Amino acid sequence: MDAKSAASASSTTAKRKFIASGRSIDIYAVECKLCLKWRKIDTQEEYEEIRSRQREDPFVCNKKEGVSCKDAADLNYDSSRTWAIDKPGLPRTPRGFKRSLILRKDYSKVDAYYITPTGKRLKSRNEIAAFIEANQDYSYAPLEDFNFTVPKVMEDTLPSTTTVHGGLTIRSRPRIISHPRKIIN
Ligand SMILES: [Zn+2]
């Protein structure tokens, strides 16, 4: 019952396409503070909401409707997927924008960028400031809510055939993750 849906979700073709251009996150999960089981979170919006409040209001199983700590985990932290662990407390993406995280092909790093309501890709705070300056319709979006802190790729979940570039470090296991997947076999 752990993550079978996720495992079968992408066909080989889709997987290859992803590899060519890096991969996006396809599962979001959070760890229960009490039982330490991982729960799948259905949408990025919901995940970001949980992450933004994680310090003051840690996630527990029964925040998910119909779920309690007695239920089996939705997925397990292991190397059947590649995991990237987010920092708790990052702000929610302002309304109308989308935060996109892409895992590099070589698994070395996750890159973050924002997609504006007009479909532009912005890769830094400066670009965002310039965009908002030029498009006052979006001046409701606070600059400090755009955050380029990226989740850490967890070395112990990399596919075994991957060569790691750069120094990856494993930290103690934080409670909230975002979760790129797909292993090259
Ligand atoms: Zn629990």
Six-digit token pair at 164? 């790691």
Confidence band, pLDDT 50/70/90 cuts, at residue 69: very high
Does domain 4-180 fall under CATH 3.40.50.720? My reply is: no
pLDDT at residue 65 tops 70: yes
Which span out of 25-34, 129-138, 170-179 was modeled with the highest average pLDDT? 129-138
| Protein residues within 5 Å, CB atom, of ion ligand 1 | 32, 34-35, 61, 69
Distance 39 CA to ligand 1 centre (A): 8
Distance 148 CA to ligand 1 centre (A): 30
- Look at 102 and 181; give whichever has higher pLDDT: 102
Contact 77, 173 (CB under 8 A): yes
pLDDT of residue 14: 35
Distance 38 CA to ligand 1 centre (A): 8
The answer for 52, left when phi > 0, alpha when psi is -120 to 50, beta otherwise, is alpha
Q: Which of 64, 48, 24, 29 is nearest to 175 (CA)?
A: 29
Average pLDDT, the chain: 79
Distance 67 CA to ligand 1 centre (A): 8
Distance 149 CA to ligand 1 centre (A): 27
Distance 106 CA to ligand 1 centre (A): 34
Confidence band, pLDDT 50/70/90 cuts, at residue 79: confident
Angle subtended at Cα 179 by Cα 60 and Cα 61, rounded to the nearest 5 degrees: 10
Mean pLDDT of 107-119: 93
Q: Which of 95, 37, 89 is nearest to 62 (CA)?
A: 37
Distance 33 CA to ligand 1 centre (A): 6
Six-digit token pair at 2? 């752990």
**Interval 9-60: pLDDT, tens:** 333 333 333 344 678 888 899 999 999 999 999 999 999 999 999 889 999 9
Domain ranges within the chain, ordered by starting residue: 4-180
